[in-house]
Chain A
Amino acid sequence: MSSAVTGTSGAAPPRPAYWPRPGGAALGRGLVTAYLSIIVLLPIAALIAQSTDGGWSAFWSAISSPEAVYSLKLTLIASLIVVAINVFAGTIIAWVLVRDNFPGKSALNAVIDLPFALPTVVAGITLLALYGPSSPIGVHAAFTKAAVVMALAFVTLPFVVRAVQPVLMELDTEMEEAAASLGAGPFTTFRRIILPSLLPAILAGSALAFARAIGEFGSLVLFSGLIAFKTEVMSGLIFQQIGNGNETGAAAQSVVLLAIALVVLLVFGRLTKWSLRHAG
């Protein structure tokens, strides 16, 4: 960077258009830091501090109680299933939106983002209306583990679709045509030509979907019932612990949930970069 400056020694160094005086930028940084501290950092610090309030043994017993272990297992397994569903269905939906043509396609494209805009409670009620106790089609999924998976699939729908779609739009069809003309079947073409290009996007979308799924609460309250040892996911257990006044236990479980989300985002971020390098 410094060599670039010496290279243009004759000309005036480019100055930033904003906050030309250092004082203004410092004030801006101070305000941003203060805002983030009040809203995000102090609360997270308090959460971590509270989780260790009763010492290591209290932390460990909060996260190793049978109910906590059950909830964590259910959360992780349901989230993994939902990610798998999203990878499969999301890629197909993205494909249909990019390569297929039919009346109403642009409306369908807009609908994909609906789960981002729809309140989570409404998502839960929406599923209850069709799959609840008075289901008009006779499917009674409410208050079962299937309800957990369905609710999570509902709220995470856009992630993989919206990650894969732009990559698919840019993808050159020449390679696919070449592969086909050389005798590759549609499955081989997909696996050898298309999938490697889509993999980084699929991984990135999956990471976001997983992080969202393990923390989900609103859509599960009514539809899954959050029943202990049946449909109670981690966020449900934490909510119940807060209600019981067990803030230390709830904080310990929260820290575990937060750590898992951050590790997953980090690992998937690395994987995405790795697969981008190897996408060719």
Chain B
Amino acid sequence: MLANGRASRWGLRTFALGYLAMLLLIPLGMIFYRAFEHGVGAAFDSVTTPDALHAFYLTIVVTVIAVPFNTVFGVGCALLLVRTNFRGKALINAIIDLPFAISPVVIGLSLLLVYSETGWFGDWLNANGIQVIFALPGIVLATIFVTLPFVVREVVPVLHEIGDEQEQAAQTLGANWWQTFWRITLPAIRWGVGYGVVIGTARALGEFGAVAVVSGRIAGQTQTATIWISEAFSRYDYTGAYFGAVVLAVLAVAALLAMNVFKRKEAA
């Protein structure tokens, strides 16, 4: 109604488009320009240095470990929350949302205080020759912490929606719980799981604050892609920083497209 007047409709549309353009779209377009300002060759050279390649490789390794962990946990935890009753359910629900309320830097510090050499488990980890902080396990832990809620939060509403009648029927007909899960539940929740996995993957690829604290940021060793980008910027390698940002932005847009497909499949 408000926008029924032609003038106000145009006014609101112009404001919305202008806001999104100035904050999001034009700046995003600019990183492409900045990355290739000095030619494609220069851009390519800047991100094919050993340190840069290692950083992107490490990011992929971390994501490939962290996302499956949270996917298995997320589906199992959602089943427990929706299909069973137990004391402390509300508490588990609250804990799952905690990563949304905590600064990534604080997440990093918290992990440091438990798993570093001087942390709670420091002596035990040292005695067993396990290095967590300033090494791969620490980066993985930080990434898992940050992306913990995504799969659970996508699957819980889907489980509520599909109900458990088909599962009951399968069990009445003699299916064991694995058959019930594999044949009935998982096909019904697959788009929800897919959505959670994609947004979790996007976040894992892009995590910065928590990883910056626990990784030690050693070039060629514990630098992830995002940390390499920020360090490149700090040493005035703008072409490298912008091109690295372009690579991650393209991945984010791909994730966004996948999310839209999953959302539509889920609605269908």
Contact = CB atoms under 8 A, between A and B. Distances in A.
A242 B209 CA distance: 12
Contact of A32 (B2, B27, B77, B106): B77
Interface residues of A, number: 95
B49 to A, nearest CB: 18
A160 interface: no
A218 B229 CA distance: 11
Contacts of B148: 39-40
Interface of B, helix, strand, loop or mixed by DSSP: helix
> Which one of A130, A154, A208 has the greatest number of beta carbons of chain B within 10 Å?
A130
Interface stretch (B38-46, B123-131, B186-194, B241-249): B241-249
A113 B160 CA distance: 25
A43 B19 CA distance: 39
B144 interface: yes
Contacts of A239: 105, 209, 212-213
B225 to A, nearest CB: 8
B90 interface: no
A74 to B, nearest CB: 14
Contact of B120 (A29, A46, A247): A46
B238 to A, nearest CB: 9
Interface stretch (A3-11, A56-64, A88-96, A271-279): A88-96
Q: What does DSSP make chain A's interface, helix, strand, loop or mixed?
A: helix
A126 B113 contact: no
A43 B142 CA distance: 11
Given A211-B100, A262-B101, A46 B114 contact: yes
B105 A121 contact: no
A40 B98 contact: yes
Given A39-B144, A50-B113, A239-B105, A89 B19 contact: yes
A50 B109 CA distance: 10
Given A18-B79, A211-B100, A25 B84 contact: yes
25 contacts: A16-B164, A25-B84, A36-B95, A39-B148, A46-B113, A47-B110, A95-B3, A95-B12, A96-B16, A102-B13, A117-B203, A118-B202, A121-B229, A121-B230, A122-B245, A129-B30, A154-B23, A176-B1, A177-B1, A180-B4, A190-B1, A215-B105, A239-B212, A247-B109, A265-B101
Interface of B: 1-5, 8-9, 12-13, 15-17, 19-20, 23-28, 30-31, 33-34, 73, 76-77, 79-80, 83-84, 86, 92, 95-96, 98-114, 119-120, 141, 144-145, 148, 164, 167-168, 170-171, 177, 180-181, 199, 202-203, 205-209, 212-213, 226, 229-230, 233-234, 241-242, 245, 248-249, 252-253, 255-257, 259-260
Given A20-B177, A117-B255, A238-B105, 20 more contacts: A14-B168, A17-B167, A19-B84, A25-B86, A43-B113, A46-B110, A96-B3, A96-B13, A108-B20, A114-B28, A122-B245, A122-B252, A130-B27, A130-B30, A180-B1, A217-B103, A234-B103, A239-B212, A247-B109, A251-B109
